[in-house]
Amino acid sequence: MFVFLNIDCCHDFSAKALLVARLPPPKPWNSQMNIEQIVDFAQAGTAAEHYRPAPEKVLKGDPEQSVRNHYSSPCGQFSTGIWEGAVGQWTVSYTEHEYCEILQGVSVLRDADGNAKTVRAGDRFVIPAGFSGTWEVLEACRKVYVIFEAK
């Protein structure tokens, strides 16, 4: 089975780049799950997918990014993994809800009105669907993301 992760809505926020993760076929919702279905980030062997925002979205620097999407739900509405970004700034427009936990680095989120929030290692927050503005990485950043996209 192939699961498509729309990076435009999650991390890249540029032209609709798609990442393809090869996952085992999902079990039906009514089947019993066992310990083997638990995804342990520390032991997941998910390969990193590298990308950059579309050039028209980049405001500063060369913000190369990577994502390791460790899990996507069978319905495609929920995904989680690790994102990393290099120094730079680009525009964002969220269609999904995203929980973030910054593991390393410093970033600044700015809304369309220019209001800013600095986030750094240890910070945990949610970006609601509908947020538009910019994401600027000041120090190489690494985060856990948990995304829900309503259909």
Residue 71 lies in a domain: yes
Asked if residue 9 has pLDDT above 80, the reply is no
The pTM of the full predicted model, rounded to 2 decimals, is 0.80
Residue 41 lies in a domain: no
Spatial neighbors of 30 by CB under 8 A, at least 6 apart, are none
Residue 6 lies in a domain: yes
pLDDT category, 14, cuts 50, 70, 90? very low
Rg from Cα positions in the chain: 16
Q: How many domains does the chain have?
A: 1
Q: 53-112 pLDDT, tens per residue?
A: 999 999 999 999 999 999 999 999 999 999 999 999 999 999 999 999 999 999 999 999
Asked if residue 18 has pLDDT above 90, the reply is no
* The pLDDT of residue 29: 56
